[in-house]
Structure 1
């Protein structure tokens, strides 16, 4: 992709105030974030110095951009670590191969960084957004989310996407000068577009391209890796998946290149090809769109709307695969039983805490005075790992189910 003919001389055509960092970066071999991004980012990328900042102002660091700091704060927070104990689709009782919410998050981040680097977008921002995108998930995945949404219906419901914002702005407590993580407005706004996608679609300006990259990476990741896990766990066979055009094409490519593979290697090769096909198609389609539309700034790219998307042909193939996964995997009888049991337990725990407020940790009893008891209970339950949720249920509420 060539940007030389674009109507923009540099990243800094707009009148931004560039930070001045005396001392530490003077006469130094260290490269500042500003220098690195000036030499690398495309005109439509959002440079770190263009950030609108944070709710609670903080002094800038020359060698560590605003979005790098966001990424680190997310990785170091308690809610992120707890993702290792939360199911993606399959529970820990089904084995130890399949993805957890944490490994899924890292895979989304890896794929998103690949796309961002190829398109010369801000990798730091993309990585922060990717690592943050599922941090609000409760125990037991979407089944847990549905149960909490039901329990909190009178309080406005529950959404894991919105819960991520609650965690980042209220629940995490790592810093003495402010509540939450004090993430940049761009990361918080990017997550907000996930809360209500219909509302976001009706806004005058679309999401930043970096936000769009993470959305695309999330979709590509679960299409491939949920297929992988489902076959590995025996819920469907690789032959079952061949009903889907995208998998059939991936299988044909793999078999044209390799022979004498055992079933395990074949499955992994097909999953790799599924990812490769999706990423390649996305980059080819998006690069053509960006060259044709030629946004000269991140703001102009937002005004142009959705720019990062797969081709129509691949999009249809993805829909076919996702329909298969929904009908044959996500609604598999084994998973339905697990989800139903998890939801029963979460409902029992929610109503149990309403009756026995003394069982809530002190922190959430105090929070109840600010946001109401039902919401505080929901916050507490949403923060649990699958295992801790089960342990707490059996210790305090087993007789209420």
Structure 2
């Protein structure tokens, strides 16, 4: 009898994951890390990934990065950090019901926005335009760059050295051109294969979380009204049900009661539909999952309702004139920063000037390993890592003369 079986010592990775379905991702069969490490004690490899993500600098910065509202517009709106926590909570609930790997799905959920720019999608669009001639900018690839290169926590390697399965889940989308550069990680985009079920869950949980928290923030800000929301079938069904169960309920309590019912409906339908898909396809392993069509999905009816909510938000919230005004300002800030650093790289902080010197030296040395090869990409890394308020302060430092 082993020490673990006798009740002594830390349980093995296999024991920690013995309850999982046969098609779940397992640490014991992971494709591994880019740099070999001694296996962790008392936790799985995916738990180690989650822990590294939580302790990363990029994760802490998410507290001051936003999606629709800029950070200084109010303390009550969601940030990328609270959004990532909501995604992880939803994803873990789904994974648990399907006997999938909760640690992996949590790690992916917590890391999926690490590469987002300041000012949400407006900042990403601006940085993509700035980088158009250098391959563009895409936040999924930037999240991968954060965990593979940019974090500086360990003596033995750059980045966080995460497992293949975690990195795979972070990379939700990828062009064929970029996929060819990524080796094993990009193969599924070229071959038309799927990621793990855990990665699929994190992707859908992301949509569930941001659609519903954008409704909440839109109503809180006054950019959306309850009258407008009545146009959305998914909303008014649960809004009416909440008022029927709790006569006299109103205000924020009514809004929260409605949103929690919507989220519950989406989660339950996702679990039930995915369970039916698994029963139909009968995957026996994670490789069967990779070869199958997408298995994590909503029913046709609920998918149509969720899509209608997304269209409503695009038209009435994301294109609201007040949001568009702030988005325009955000783009000017990002573009201004990029142009200033491009015109004179000496304006970059010393750490990035040092990275630029190393990149230039490597570019001139044919025997040196490929690292960051362009000034533009290093500038994009710097800007993408900024929080909303830091980007605004940096812009002021560069362009505003302070008489005080």
**TM-score normalized with structure 1 length:** 0.90
2:354 is aligned, of 366, 383, 386, to: 366
Coordinate RMSD, CA, aligned: 1.9
1:231 is aligned, of 219, 223, 238, to: 219
Alignment of 1:1-400 (within 5 A): 27-28=7-8, 30-38=10-18, 40-196=19-175, 203-369=191-357, 370=359, 371-398=373-400
Change (3 A) 1:65 1:197: farther
Shift, 1:63, TM fit: 1.6
Match of 1:17 in 2: none
Match of 2:185 in 1: none
Q: Comparing 255-264 with 29-38, which one deviates more in the overlay? A: 29-38
Q: Distance in 2 between matches of 1:163 and 1:217?
A: 20
Tell me if the contact between 2:25 and 2:101 (Cα under 8 Å) persists in the aligned partners. yes
Shift, 1:358, TM fit: 1.5
Change (3 A) 1:23 1:361: farther
Tell me if the contact between 2:194 and 2:291 (Cα under 8 Å) persists in the aligned partners. yes
Tell me if the contact between 1:88 and 1:104 (Cα under 8 Å) persists in the aligned partners. no
Tell me if the contact between 2:141 and 2:174 (Cα under 8 Å) persists in the aligned partners. yes
Q: Distance in 2 between matches of 1:202 and 1:309?
A: 22
Tell me if the contact between 2:4 and 2:12 (Cα under 8 Å) persists in the aligned partners. no
Q: Distance in 1 between matches of 2:351 and 2:4?
A: 41
Q: Distance in 2 between matches of 1:30 and 1:51?
A: 20
> Structure 1: where are the runs of 5+ without partners?
1-21
Tell me if the contact between 1:54 and 1:183 (Cα under 8 Å) persists in the aligned partners. yes
Q: Comparing 50-59 with 84-93, which one deviates more in the overlay? A: 84-93
Tell me if the contact between 2:10 and 2:41 (Cα under 8 Å) persists in the aligned partners. no
Tell me if the contact between 1:169 and 1:180 (Cα under 8 Å) persists in the aligned partners. yes
Count of aligned pairs between the two proteins:
377
* Secondary structure at the counterpart of residue 153 of structure 2: coil
Deviations 1:232-266 (A, max 9, x none): 11001122111011111111221221111121100
Shift, 1:185, TM fit: 1.0
> Structure 2: where are the runs of 5+ without partners?
180-187, 360-372
Q: Comparing 76-85 with 357-366, which one deviates more in the overlay? A: 357-366
Change (3 A) 1:204 1:336: closer
Q: Distance in 1 between matches of 2:38 and 2:9?
A: 22
